[in-house]
Structure 1
């Protein structure tokens, strides 16, 4: 499927290219909205997120470890019927495998042999696993205070992990500096990562008998799961496959809450450790 990148702020468009991760002026990009799917477009013979391949851009050859198709479990919660989507069933333990599968597939198809990622946890271990599956050498930059367990997991997948002194922002800045000489496979920047996380919306739609849920309650760090759900449900709405978008209800840890602060027009508190990891 042909595709374009777009800068949603200025409307600037760029030809689709897996090696591009931001605009010429440094702004973030997304893949321009795609047509979406009807129920008949789902490849039910594939048990992974690649059953929604018709909703993905480009001519991708899947690098897959069986991500997606996670359980949706009905339960009572606070007197209300809810369903829990168990994304920890993913191959490396988090929803980020959705984005990594699609992103690494795009980079592998473009002939990439080495890549760079920066992460404080789940994103780095996920990119490391899918890079190994694709035969790509991965280097992951992580803040020096990253959990030893996450560093161990990332190294176990064969990636080189370099610990960077300072804050998470210092690690990101070092990754951007190095991006001038290597392929930057950032789960926070690269447009193809959101193409993977949007499959969560498609999967919920299929899980519920091709209907949208009333609401999706989730958490956010940088927000890729929120942006992916918004993108996926938006495509389904445009395709006429749902009649309304679900509400997206998002929580953040108090010590890492820039999105919450922006929504409420206030300064975020200083970053500090939380019980959440990755």
Structure 2
């Protein structure tokens, strides 16, 4: 039984039934958020037992919108390590490369595809720069659901092969990631296909990054959590996870969140610096960090509000800074990540952060360009 009570538009505030299959606001096309009954969650969690349970993604099921847990599609994702830096005192790396498809996207896919499975969906569509498509294709294969994946032509060959090997139907698009998103939305309108991607259910799954970090810190907060930002779903989901833990009494102090974007595609950083109340899209992203080359981030407004509420930090890094960070992680830390995953480390270094710093490294190096 899910404890979700509503689906709410982030932009206009309109609420919809939690049983409605919807991917953007029917009134203003804004992105959506899932609302829960936190009093019931608080009562449901037996704290002494919950606190001692092993760190796994589905440990946090009370905070997910899945009603029938027998329909969960899982490959034992999550529970990724916090690796202490050998060169930076009090810095740690949340290494997402050991997830089933080698990126953090599996956290969202397990919830998103579980929801599709719960609803009896037989076919889904997904726009992706690579990692998300590979993850959706994998979990759909596990569930017996057909996946249709739309990717821009700049997607890394290794990611395309991973998608194809899972039996998904691939369409390579001319243009940008946002063009691929538009194509899936057209399918939704004309063929009523179920959309996967950076929508509300995926965001709920990606909250587990935030849950796990606090859990691994023995229910305390580090000083900073540093995250790469593309569509901003991971960033906004991490913020939501922290707020939920605080709401139910499992966290007293929030860490500062740090958003890092590539200089060639940094709409969130620019909006935050300009104290804007909206995101101005980047029409032609240009960066080697292809996994975060999202010019019009789906959850940009959520992330912008999260930055403002927490008085967080936002920084952009050049491609060279990201490449240098990737090399340093490999040669000095023994941690192999793709360029987009190294962006968090590059940003933390650029800001000269002090104290307990957690850099989320989002994808394995074998998935890179």
- 2:238 aligned to which of 214, 229, 232: 229
How many Å apart are 1:29 and its aligned residue? 0.7
How many Å apart are 1:272 and its aligned residue? 1.4
Task: Specify the SS of the correspondent of 1:139.
Answer: strand
Task: Specify the SS of the correspondent of 1:255.
Answer: coil
- Alignment match, 1:197: 206
- TM-score, normalized by length of structure 2? 0.70
- Alignment match, 2:257: 248
Deviates more, 1:12-21 or 1:234-243: 12-21
2:112 corresponds to 1:115: no
What's the CA shift string for 1:44-101, capped at 9, x where partnerless? 66763111112222314321001000111122444x3111111111000111100000
CA distance in 1, matches of 2:255, 2:20: 30
How many Å apart are 1:105 and its aligned residue? 0.3
CA distance in 2, matches of 1:90, 1:34: 30
Check whether the contact 2:55–2:215 (CA below 8 A) recurs between aligned residues. no
- Alignment match, 1:160: 169
- Provide structure 2 residue ranges, at least 5 long, that are not aligned to the other structure: 293-369
Alpha-carbon distance change, 269 to 8 in structure 1, aligned in 2, over 3 angstroms: closer
2:80 corresponds to 1:92: no
CA distance in 2, matches of 1:151, 1:65: 20
Check whether the contact 1:96–1:122 (CA below 8 A) recurs between aligned residues. yes
Alpha-carbon distance change, 103 to 33 in structure 1, aligned in 2, over 3 angstroms: same
How many Å apart are 1:2 and its aligned residue? 3.5
RMSD: 2.1
CA distance in 1, matches of 2:219, 2:54: 17
- Alignment match, 2:192: 182
CA distance in 1, matches of 2:286, 2:225: 27
- Provide structure 1 residue ranges, at least 5 long, that are not aligned to the other structure: none
- 1:272 aligned to which of 271, 282, 286: 286
- 1:23 aligned to which of 12, 19, 25: 25
Check whether the contact 1:63–1:101 (CA below 8 A) recurs between aligned residues. yes
What's the CA shift string for 1:219-268, capped at 9, x where partnerless? 11111110111010000111121112111111111112111122123965
- Alignment match, 2:348: none
CA distance in 1, matches of 2:291, 2:179: 18
Task: Specify the SS of the correspondent of 2:85.
Answer: strand
- 1:52 aligned to which of 24, 38, 60: 60
Task: Specify the SS of the correspondent of 1:218.
Answer: strand
2:218 corresponds to 1:215: no
- 2:269 aligned to which of 252, 260, 268: 260
Aligned residue pairs: how many?
276
CA distance in 2, matches of 1:211, 1:84: 17
Check whether the contact 2:11–2:31 (CA below 8 A) recurs between aligned residues. no
- TM-score, normalized by length of structure 1? 0.91
How many Å apart are 1:208 and its aligned residue? 1.0
CA distance in 1, matches of 2:283, 2:186: 27
Alpha-carbon distance change, 20 to 204 in structure 1, aligned in 2, over 3 angstroms: same
Deviates more, 1:212-221 or 1:91-100: 212-221
Deviates more, 1:90-99 or 1:8-17: 8-17
Which structure carries more helix by proportion?
2
Check whether the contact 1:18–1:106 (CA below 8 A) recurs between aligned residues. no
Deviates more, 1:33-42 or 1:207-216: 33-42
